[in-house]
């Protein structure tokens, strides 16, 4: 999905979010409940938006459905919805921070339980720390760090998807604290 197209729709609705934050929210909700539906996400996404602006949400529904499909796939195709690599690094970092905030909100919104293993709590703590990244980064070292963080998040999301969804349905988890 094109970041700019999704972002334009979200900005148009006065939802006070970016496409990155909205995608993070959807991803967090789907990690906890892989069967979540787009209607719940849209209701949360547009909670502060006026009703007239919400009419053009077909692209957002497709974004949610595609995110759900990619999270359910075993092909490691999932990726964060962020601005393209040709955008300046500070803009991409700001979007990454927003994505992390949305993800944490989505997890909290969908979770029925917070009885999570230490590993899950540690990953969520890392994601929380990513919301504090410095937007003023530049240069090759910061570019590499950005790529490493996004790759960590991709892997962490897929791990959390397996663990949070199983944990939230009270199925036994390999990571359950003794």
Q: Express each pLDDT in 3-60 by its tens digit.
A: 888 888 888 876 678 999 999 999 999 999 988 899 889 888 887 765 545 566 788 8
Q: Domain of 73: which CATH number?
A: 1.20.120.740
Residue 166, pLDDT > 60, answer: yes
Residue 153 located in a structural domain: yes
Residue 103 CA, chain-centre distance (Å), reads 4
Residue 174 located in a structural domain: no
pTM listed for this prediction: 0.87
How many structural domains compose the chain?
1
Residue 168: count of CB within 10 angstroms of its CB: 20
Position 51 scores a pLDDT of 57
Range of the domain at 164: 3-168
């Amino acid at each position: 999905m094109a970041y700019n197209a999704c972002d334009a729709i979200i900005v148009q609705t006065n939802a006070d979010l970016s496409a990155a934050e909205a995608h993070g929210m959807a991803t967090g909700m789907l990690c906890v409940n892989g069967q979540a539906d787009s209607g719940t996400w849209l209701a949360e996404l547009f909670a502060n938006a006026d009703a007239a602006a919400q009419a053009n949400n077909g692209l957002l529904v497709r974004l949610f459905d595609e995110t759900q499909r990619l999270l359910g796939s075993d092909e490691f195709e999932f990726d964060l919805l962020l601005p393209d690599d040709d955008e300046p690094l500070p803009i991409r970092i700001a979007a990454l921070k927003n994505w992390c905030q949305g993800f944490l909100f989505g997890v909290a919104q969908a979770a029925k339980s917070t009885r999570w293993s230490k590993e899950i709590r540690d990953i969520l703590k890392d994601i929380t720390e990513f919301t504090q990244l410095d937007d003023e980064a530049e240069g090759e070292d910061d570019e590499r760090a950005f790529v490493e963080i996004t790759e960590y998040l991709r892997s962490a999301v897929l791990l959390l998807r397996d663990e949070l969804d199983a944990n939230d349905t009270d199925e036994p988890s390999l990571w359950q604290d003794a």
